[in-house]
Amino acid sequence: MPVAVTIDEIRAAHARIAGHVVRTPMRQAPSLSQGGPSVHLKLETRQTTGSFKLRGATNAALSLDSAARGVVTASTGNHGRAVAHAARTLGIRAVVCMSQLVPANKVEAVRALGAEVHIVGHSQDDAQEEVDRLVSKEGLAEIPPFDHPAVIAGQGTIGLEIIEELPEVELVLVPLSGGGLAGGIGAAIKAMRPQARIIGISMARGAAMHASLLAGKPVQVEELPTLADSLGGGIGLANRYSFALCRDFLDEVILLSEEEVAAGIRHAFAAEHEIVEGAAGVGIAALLAGKVRPSGPTAIVLSGRNIDPGLHRRIVEEGVAA
Ligand SMILES: *Cc1c(COP(=O)(O)O)cnc(C)c1O
C-alpha cells in the first residue's frame, strides 16, 4: 500500500503554513531528564488557538478548491477552533459540528472566533452526519479533524521541527486519537530518522485507534467521558489515511488510566510550569507511570492547553482525577 502522506508533502505544508502558525519552542524538561536520557517538550500549548490543530486546518484551508462556499468540520473542540481561526483569516464561512460531550469552554471558544456551531448527538459519528448534510446541501468543503492528507501533512510539520531541534532523537511520545497527529509526525520522523521509535498514547476509556490496530481494521468503541477529552471519538469505519499511517509508523500504543492522565497534568504544572489539557499531558503521564523507558533523547509533544480552568485547578491543588 502506498504511503498516503509523503515527506515532500509535509515539507510543502511547512512552507505553506509558515507565517500563519507559530513555530513553537522545544525545550528540555529538567524534571524528566534526571539520571537518564534528556527529555524535551515540544510546546504546541503555545500554538495560536491553544493546540497544534491550527497546523493541519491552515494547510487544508490554504489548499481549498476555489468553488467551496466555506468550510465545515466535526470536532471535539480544538480542531473546530482551528478551522474557525483559519477561515476567519481567509475571510470565508465556517460551520463547526460537535457532539454534546464537548465541554462548554470549547464551544464558546469556537463561537467567539466567528464560526457557526451546530451541536448534534452524543458522538463524533453523529456530528459527522451533520457535516455530510452541509457538504451535500450547502456546498461547504469539509476539513476533517484527522483523516485528510492536507490535515495530516500539516500536523506532520511538528515532526520536521522536532528533527531540526533534536537531530539525535530516539523516542517520540505523541498523544493519539484519530491519528492525524501521530500519523503525520510518524511519517516525517521515520523518513528522516528511521531508527527513532514513535509511541502513541491514549486514555484507556475509549481508545479507538488502539482497538482498531489490534483488530487490523477500523472498529468502533464506546465513547466515554475522560479527562483527555480531546482524545475522544472514533477513527471512522471508512478511515482512509490515518489508520494506515499509524499501523505503518507507530512502534507501540500505550493506554493510561484517568488517574495517570491527572498525574501528567499535575506534573506538567508543578514541575515544568506548563498548563496542559488532559490529552496533552499523556506523554509525561506515560513516563511517570513507568509505561515507557527512554533509551535515548526523547521528545514529548504537549499538544494543547485548552482545559477548563476550574478543572485544572482542582486537579493540580486537590489531586482530584475527575
Ligand atoms: C486532536 C488532539 C489530539 C489528537 O490528535 P489526533 O490527530 O486526533 O490523533 C491530541 N491532543 C490534542 C490537544 C488535540 O486537540
pLDDT in the model for residue 1: 52
All three cell numbers of 81: 477552533
Q: How close is the Cα of 279 to the center of ligand 1, in Å?
A: 7
Calculate the CA dihedral of residues 89, 85, 178, 139 and round it to 10 degrees: -60
Same domain? For 292 and 163 the reply is: yes
pLDDT at 17: 96
Nearest alpha carbon, ligand 1 atom 7:
180
| Residue 118: CATH number of its domain | 3.40.50.1100
User: 125: pLDDT confidence band, cut at 50, 70 and 90?
Assistant: confident
Is pLDDT above 70 for 54?
A: yes
| Ligand 1 atom having least distance to the Cα of 182 | 9
Residue found by looking up cell 507511570 in the block: 289
201 with 305, same domain? yes
Can you read off the three cell numbers belonging to residue 173? 511520545
Give the residue, by CA position, lying nearest to ligand 1 atom 13: 304
Ligand 1 pocket test target in 54, 75, 78 with most atoms within 8 Å of CB = 78
Q: Is position 218 within any domain?
A: yes
Q: Write down which residue in 78, 112, 142 finishes a domain.
A: 142
Among 103, 119, 142, residue at a domain's last position: 142
Same domain, 86 and 116: yes
Task: Indicate if 240 and 118 belong to the same structural domain.
Answer: no
Residues with Cβ within 8 Å of 215's Cβ and at least 6 positions away in sequence, in order, are: none
In a domain, residue 245? The reply is: yes
Range of the domain at 73: 54-142
Encoded amino acid at 142, one letter? E
Residue with CA at minimum distance from ligand 1 atom 1: 230
Query: Is the residue at 152 inside a domain?
Result: yes
- Measured in Å, residue 35 CA sits from the centre of ligand 1 at 30
**How far apart are alpha carbons 196 and 76 in whole angstroms?**
30
- Residue 14's SS3 state is helix
Looking at the fold, whether 155 and 260 belong to one and the same domain comes out as yes
Identify whether residues 311 and 285 lie together within a single domain. yes
| Main-chain phi, psi angles of 172, to 5 degrees | -125, 125
Total count of domains within the chain: 2
pLDDT tens column, 64-119: 987 778 999 987 689 989 999 999 988 899 999 988 887 787 788 889 999 999 99
Share of the chain above pLDDT 90, in %: 84
Query: Do 154 and 133 belong together in one domain?
Result: no
27-35 own/partner pairs: CB under 8 Å, 24+ apart: 29/271, 29/272, 29/284, 29/300, 31/267, 31/271, 31/272, 32/271, 32/272, 32/284, 32/287, 32/300
Q: Are residues 27 and 160 in the same domain?
A: yes
Q: Work out the average pLDDT over 167-185.
A: 98
Query: How much is the pTM?
Result: 0.94
Distance 13 CA to ligand 1 centre (A): 18
Average pLDDT, the chain: 94
Count Cα neighbours of 144 within 13 Å in the Cβ-side half-sphere: 25
Ligand 1 atom 2: residue of nearest CA: 230
- Ligand 1 mutation target, pool 181, 199, 276, 284, most atoms within 8 A of CB: 181
Q: Is residue 1 part of a domain?
A: no
CA distance 237 to 310: 36
Is 21 contained in some domain? yes
Q: Ligand 1: which of 229, 231, 235 to mutate, judged by most atoms within 8 Å of the beta carbon?
A: 231
Within a domain: 2: no
The residue from 142, 169, 195 where one domain ends is 142
Cβ distance 60 to 73 under 8 Å?
A: no
Residues 125 and 252 placed together within one structural domain of the fold: no
Ligand 1 pocket by C-beta < 6 Å: which residues?
A: 51, 53, 78, 145-146, 175-182, 230-231, 277, 279-280, 303-304
* 155 shares a domain with 266: yes
Residue 71 is predicted with a pLDDT of 96
**Which of 6-15, 76-85, 123-132 has the highest average model confidence (pLDDT)?**
6-15
pLDDT in tens, 211-255: 999 999 999 999 899 999 999 888 999 999 999 999 999 999 999
Residue 80 lies in a domain: yes
Q: How far apart are the first and last CA of the chain?
A: 42
CA nearest ligand 1 atom 4, residue: 177
* CA triple 63-69-73, angle to 5 deg: 70
DSSP H helical ranges for the chain: 7-17, 53-62, 78-90, 104-112, 124-138, 149-165, 180-192, 208-215, 242-249, 258-272, 282-288, 309-318
Question: What confidence score (pLDDT) does residue 233 get?
Answer: 85
Whether 197 has a pLDDT exceeding 70, the answer reads yes
130 and 173 together in one domain: no
What is the percent of the chain where pLDDT is above 70?
98
Q: Are 37 and 61 in a shared domain?
A: no
